[in-house]
Structure 1
Amino acid sequence: MGFIIPITEFGNYLLYSILVGHVALQFVPNENKPKVSIPKPMLLLFTLGIIILSLGPIAQTVSYFQGGVGFFLTVQSVILDFQVGRAWIFIGLLATCLYLTILLNGSKYIQAILLLLMILAVGYSSHVASLSFWAGLWSHSTHFLIVTLWTGILINVGWFSKEDLNWSKFLRWFTPFAVICLIIIILSGIYLMLFIVEPKDYVKAWVLPYGQMLLLKHISIIPVLAFAFINGVLTKKAMKNLSFNPRPWIKGESLILLFVFYFTAVMGTLSPPHEVEFTVKSEGASKWVEWLLGKDILTTLQTHLATSFQSVLLIILSILFLFLILFSFKQKRLLPAVFFGIGFIAVLYFGLMLSLV
Structure 2
Amino acid sequence: MLNVLVPLTELITYILFSILIGHVALRFVSPEKKPSIYISRRFLLSCVLGIILFTFGPLLQVVAYFGGSVGVAQTLFSVLFTFEIGKAWIAIVWCSILLWLAIYLESSKYIQAILLFLMVLSIGYASHVASLSFWTGFTSHTVHFLAVTLWAGILIQVSWFSKDSTNWDRFLRWFTPFAVSCMIVILISGVIVMLFVINIKDYINAWVLPYGQMILLKHISIIPLFAFACINGILVRKMRKIPTFNPQPWVKAESVSILIVFFFTGILGTLSPPHDIDQTVRSEGVANWIVNLFGIPIKMPVNLELISSFQGIVAFIFGVLFLIMIFLSFYKKKTPVLAVFLAICFIIITYLGLMTSVALE
User: TM tier, shorter chain?
Assistant: over 0.9
User: Runs of 5+ in structure 1 lacking a partner?
Assistant: none
In the alignment, residue 15 of structure 2 is paired with which amino acid?
Answer: L
Q: What TM-score does the superposition give when structure 1 sets the normalisation length?
A: 0.99
Distance in 2 (CA, whole Å) between partners of 1:300 and 1:266 is 26
**Residues 93-135 of structure 1: CA deviation (Å, up to 9, x unaligned):** 0000000000000100000000000000000000001111111
Distance in 2 (CA, whole Å) between partners of 1:340 and 1:349 is 14
Alignment of 1:268-287 (within 5 A): 268-287=269-288
Where does residue 46 of structure 1 map in the other structure? 47
Where does residue 354 of structure 1 map in the other structure? 356
Deviation of 1:298 after TM superposition, in Å, equals 2.4
Distance in 2 (CA, whole Å) between partners of 1:146 and 1:301 is 35
Where does residue 245 of structure 1 map in the other structure? 246
**Residues 201-259 of structure 1: CA deviation (Å, up to 9, x unaligned):** 00110110000000000000000000000001100111111211110000000001111
Deviation of 1:300 after TM superposition, in Å, equals 4.8
Alignment of 1:129-140 (within 5 A): 129-140=130-141
In the alignment, residue 277 of structure 2 is paired with which amino acid?
Answer: V
Establish whether residue 180 from structure 1 lines up as the match of residue 181 from structure 2: yes
Where does residue 347 of structure 2 map in the other structure? 345
Distance in 1 (CA, whole Å) between partners of 2:78 and 2:333 is 55
Where does residue 84 of structure 1 map in the other structure? 85
Task: Report if aligned partners of 1:83, 1:125 keep a CA contact under 8 Å in 2.
Answer: yes
Task: Report if aligned partners of 2:38, 2:162 keep a CA contact under 8 Å in 1.
Answer: yes
Task: Report if aligned partners of 2:35, 2:163 keep a CA contact under 8 Å in 1.
Answer: yes
Task: Report if aligned partners of 1:204, 1:300 keep a CA contact under 8 Å in 2.
Answer: no
Q: What TM-score does the superposition give when structure 2 sets the normalisation length?
A: 0.98
Where does residue 317 of structure 1 map in the other structure? 318
Alignment of 1:1-357 (within 5 A): 1-333=2-334, 334-357=336-359
Q: Which runs of 4+ in 1 moved over 3 A?
A: none
SS at match of 2:166: coil
Task: Report if aligned partners of 1:281, 1:298 keep a CA contact under 8 Å in 2.
Answer: no
Deviation of 1:299 after TM superposition, in Å, equals 2.3
Distance in 1 (CA, whole Å) between partners of 2:16 and 2:106 is 19
Task: Report if aligned partners of 1:235, 1:246 keep a CA contact under 8 Å in 2.
Answer: yes
Distance in 1 (CA, whole Å) between partners of 2:251 and 2:164 is 14
SS at match of 2:306: coil
Task: Report if aligned partners of 2:22, 2:154 keep a CA contact under 8 Å in 1.
Answer: yes
Distance in 1 (CA, whole Å) between partners of 2:281 and 2:249 is 44
Task: Report if aligned partners of 1:280, 1:300 keep a CA contact under 8 Å in 2.
Answer: no
User: Runs of 5+ in structure 2 lacking a partner?
Assistant: none
- RMSD, matched Cα: 0.8
**Residues 132-164 of structure 1: CA deviation (Å, up to 9, x unaligned):** 111111110000000000000000000000122
Deviation of 1:301 after TM superposition, in Å, equals 3.7
